[in-house]
Amino acid sequence: MLKRLQDMPLSFRVPLIASAMMVLVGVVASQQVLSSLSSVQEARLQELARLHVDGLAVALGPSVLRRDVWEVFDTLDRATAAGSGQRMVLTVVADEAGRVIAASDPLRAPVDSDVGPLADGAQTIDAIRLSGTEDHIRVAAPLDYQGRNVGLIISELNVADLVAERWKAGLYLLAGNAVATLVLAFGGYLAMRRMLKPVARLAGHMGRMEGTLEPIPASDVPKGDTELARLFQTYNAMSDAVHAKAEAERRLAERERFVSLGRLSSSLAHEINNPLGGLLNAADTIHTYADRPEVVRQSAELMQRGLGHLRDVTRAILDQNRLDRAGQPLRPEDFEDLRLLFEPEVHSRNQALDWQVGAAASALECQAAAPVRQVTLNLLLNAGAAAGMNGKVGLTVANDGNGLSISVTNTGAAMSDGDLARLMDSGPLPPGGGVGLRLVHDIVAGLGGTIGHERAEGQTRIRVDLPAQGGPHA
């Protein structure tokens, strides 16, 4: 029942709960009204019965002592004719032994019969109670005369009108409560629908966005400084913050891409400068010994190798920074490009490079090339900087179930707490340091992957596990 109530719309649930509470209040109030009515009716009956019995006691005392049947009957008949007969339908007078002396209806209580059957179930005057189902009640009272108990008076009262009055009052209360509950429930439903209309508008706006947050137009924001207005304003502020964060992340990614390129520029300049020197020497040799075919051939082969190296370096730089690579699948050639870009860093520090790319092409093509290249290059650059002179840097790329595992190791010092916070956490960036490690964290999180850190035997290992992104054109 509770589960079904929770599944109902709020515009139905609140009026229904309010109606149930109103019904409960109506039932309690009706019981109080009926209880008060019963108390008034019973007090009236007690007063009537006491006056009747007291009057009979004064008039019947001597006759009961003499056991004068006709005098007792005459007194009862006159008392009935005086006006109490409509309520007192039967009055029986018995002596101390419980034998009937006279009754207003001799057929129901013959003279000298036992009064016990009539006395059974009779109430005392001070304890008269209306059950609500019986039209007649019997009341028993002692007959006292001059301070002495000389007999018993039993009266039967017709309370059909009082019972009918109680039923009528109950029906009026029931009908009034039902009408009031229905009217107020319908009014509550309309009020809740009106109050929740802005919430429905907000939910519909969010449902149409398909994963993107768009501000709600000012014309749709509720007027006034209400809770709903503040909710809409908070949503718009959150939407603006999300857009600002996305724009900042985009600019951060672009900046980090060019920062990575800048870190490689000096080493790449050396890689380009050496082939250029050789090419100039080869061109000068050809110019000087143009009449010697074997020298020209050797110089031409040297120029061809140098130009090929320049072509590879240039292509690797372009592939790393080309915007049109977005959405392209990862290939083994992408890691060869990264090696070509990173090797000048290794050579400048006289480091040892352990390069192991063992993942199958089918596993690579289920990943997007641009983010994976960016993650790998950033980790390699940080590992190279941490390893220092004569250190060791390693890269291992392998299949991991249906996904891809990338491990980068170095023999440098352990990572600082600030660097670990940038790489592993999503909180605010600690002061100092760059943004490359946080960019790695954000890209991996966006791809649904995980990052692990391990420091053992003087070596730091960063492992990135990426799930398959859906197919060759992920």
* Rounded distance between C-alpha atoms, residue 78 and residue 104, angstroms: 10
Q: Which amino acid is at 458?
A: G
| pLDDT at residue 370, as a whole number | 77
If pLDDT is split at 50, 70 and 90, which confidence band does 473 have?
A: very low
Share of the chain above pLDDT 70, in %: 77
Q: Given strand 459-466, what is the order of strands in its sheet? A: 352-357, 392-400, 403-410, 459-466, 450-456
If pLDDT is split at 50, 70 and 90, which confidence band does 461 have?
A: very high
pLDDT at 428 over 90: no
| pLDDT at residue 411, as a whole number | 92
* Rounded distance between C-alpha atoms, residue 159 and residue 298, angstroms: 135
Domain annotation for the chain: domains and CATH numbers: 2-171 (3.30.450.20), 244-466 (3.30.565.10)
User: Could you report the per-residue pLDDT of 354-410, keeping only the tens digit for each?
Assistant: 999 888 888 888 888 878 888 888 888 888 888 989 999 999 999 877 789 999 999
Least confident of 10-19, 98-107, 141-150, 259-268: 259-268
* Rounded distance between C-alpha atoms, residue 161 and residue 167, angstroms: 10
Check residues 218 and 179 and name the one with the higher pLDDT.
Answer: 179
| pLDDT at residue 474, as a whole number | 43
| Residue 459 phi, psi dihedral angles, 5° rounding | -135, 135
Partners of residue 205 on adjacent β-strands: none
| pLDDT at residue 405, as a whole number | 92
- In this structure, the number of other CB atoms found within 10 A of the CB of residue 410 comes to 24
| pLDDT at residue 409, as a whole number | 94
pLDDT (average), residues 169-183: 82
Q: How far is CA 170 from the centre of its chain?
A: 43
pLDDT at 432 over 70: no
Check residues 254 and 195 and name the one with the higher pLDDT.
Answer: 195
If pLDDT is split at 50, 70 and 90, which confidence band does 82 have?
A: low
pLDDT at 319 over 60: no
pLDDT (average), residues 158-175: 83
Going by C-alpha positions, the residue among 394, 425, 419 that lies closest to residue 407 is 394
pLDDT (average), residues 81-88: 64
Question: Does the predicted model carry a pTM greater than 0.85?
Answer: no
Report the alpha-carbon angle 31-37-39, nearest 5.
Answer: 100
| pLDDT at residue 324, as a whole number | 45
Going by C-alpha positions, the residue among 97, 102, 63, 61 that lies closest to residue 80 is 102
pLDDT (average), residues 418-436: 71
The H or E element that residue 155 is part of is strand 148-158
Q: Which amino acid is at 11?
A: S
Check residues 142 and 82 and name the one with the higher pLDDT.
Answer: 142
| pLDDT at residue 235, as a whole number | 79
User: Could you report the per-residue pLDDT of 196-233, keeping only the tens digit for each?
Assistant: 777 777 777 776 665 566 777 777 777 765 777 777 77
* Rounded distance between C-alpha atoms, residue 383 and residue 394, angstroms: 9
Check residues 370 and 156 and name the one with the higher pLDDT.
Answer: 156
